[in-house]
Amino acid sequence: MKLAIFDIDGTLTKTNDVDSQCFVKAFALEFGIEDINTNWASYGHTTDSGITLQIFQEFLGRIPEQSELSRLQHRFVDLLQECYTADNTLFAEIPGASIMLRKLAETENWAIAFATAGWSASASMKLDSAKLDVGQLPTASADDSISREDIVKTAISRAKTVYNQIDFEKIVCIGDGIWDVLTAVQLQLAFVGVASGKQKKTLQDAGVEQIIEDFVNFDNFVEALNTASILKPEKLLEVEKGSLSDSERVSLPPSYFEALYGTNPDPWKFETSEYEAKKYAATIAALPKRYKSAFEIGGSIGILTEKLASKCDSLLSIEVSKLAQEKAIKRCQHLKQVRFQIMRLPEQYPEEMFDLVLVSEVGYYWCWEDLQKAKQCIVEHLEPGGHLLLVHWTQYARDYPLNGDQVHDSFMELTPTQLRHLTNQREEQYRLDLFERV
């Protein structure tokens, strides 16, 4: 059996515009938060829950309480309902969607699931308003996760249970936006686009081969499902570039990380991951001597900080997330040579010199402009003969402005005039480079 996973807004219903308008208005009416950035692609997670967490962090400096989330969702749905009452055409189905879902459900070869970046309550309201009967079909939403990838994974898991499948022969994501494409690419799933005009061109530029304008011709849609392919790995950067222009791409803000740590104290599984443990061991092993004054950029919850301290007489660890650093401070409280500061680079930088700077898994959070500024600060504050160690994951990550190779290659441009390249280690998922200040 094969699985078709449908997005909702813009894919099954023509609700992208009214959804955005009501979402923004709900914040203004419920919390007095106005002037929200509506370039949704610039948020760390383009889901209702992810955007909400980031907005709360940016405007209120904290994550929302459950009661506040409930208030916001209720206000949002009420506003959608008001818009529907005033003009129900704002909630029309994509032509042929209702009949297509009924016919596809009747086939023996295809299972159906829904994965929406919206909340469950608003998604149900829009489906009902568009007269789309989804019954008890498996659904995952922004209530399940702030991550689009995790939402799709949840939809797949629930579909396996509902359809009693150990696995599916093929899984196809159906969506209308570039972020739907990016999610499919991240999960290596086949993709069918639903778009026309400018949006169709955007999907085509991203490498999507199967694109339909609507579901009126059921046979054509099924053919698209059957022939849909997984985007090739070399298309990943092309997809990424298609989502935002260079001027729109910005460094991930502190609110992104506070939102992550607010929902999960160890979002990257630093404490339990075998991959992280091996990478940490390689990182420490790459350091050839003991250091008098070391600087760790992005210490997170302090796992690597604790290990690095054994090689340093003095270590300054900085972080943008207060929640993460609180855990790091507690973890390293027995290490008197370790200092902690909340600091955001490149806007800030310590007024001291170091003989070791460690940049581990943080460089790709900067946009290109900020990377260049940070690079200059790092070199200017690195003592002659001092070491710079870079360690970064090199796989594709949808949320990040850059990738690991871009970060490392940028520092390579400083050789041999400002930095001497000492060591390179490339593993399947990460890259390590050690430099010495000339």
Helix pair angle (218-227, 97-106), 10° resolution: 60
Q: Give the tens place of pLDDT for each residue, 280-330.
A: 999 999 999 999 999 999 999 999 999 999 999 999 999 999 999 999 999
In order of 300, 306, 383, the CA distances from 310 in angstroms are 18, 7, 20
Q: Give the tens place of pLDDT for each residue, 245-284.
A: 555 578 888 988 988 888 888 988 999 999 999 999 999 9
In order of 241, 379, 391, the CA distances from 368 in angstroms are 13, 17, 18
Q: CB–CB of 350/357 below 8 Å? A: no
Q: Give the tens place of pLDDT for each residue, 330-385.
A: 999 999 999 999 999 999 999 999 999 999 999 999 999 999 999 999 999 999 99
**Contacts made by residues 107-110, CB under 8 angstroms, sequence distance 24+:** 107/222, 108/1, 109/1, 109/2, 110/1, 110/2, 110/3, 110/4, 110/222, 110/225
Average the pLDDT over 188-202 and give the result.
93
Q: Does residue 239 carry a pLDDT above 60?
A: no
Bridging pattern class, strands 430-437 and 382-393: antiparallel
> How long, in residues, is the chain?
438
Sheet (strand 110-115) strand order = 139-140, 110-115, 2-6, 170-175, 190-194, 211-212
Q: Does residue 241 carry a pLDDT above 70?
A: no
Q: CB–CB of 210/224 below 8 Å? A: yes
Question: How big is the CA angle at 13 (ends 109 and 136), to the nearest 5 degrees?
Answer: 50
Beta bridge partners of 342: 319
Please tell me the number of Cα atoms within 13 Å of 190 on its side-chain side: 18
Q: Does residue 39 carry a pLDDT above 90?
A: no
Q: Does residue 161 carry a pLDDT above 70?
A: yes
Beta bridge partners of 175: 193
pLDDT given for residue 263 in this prediction: 80
Share of the chain above pLDDT 70, in %: 96
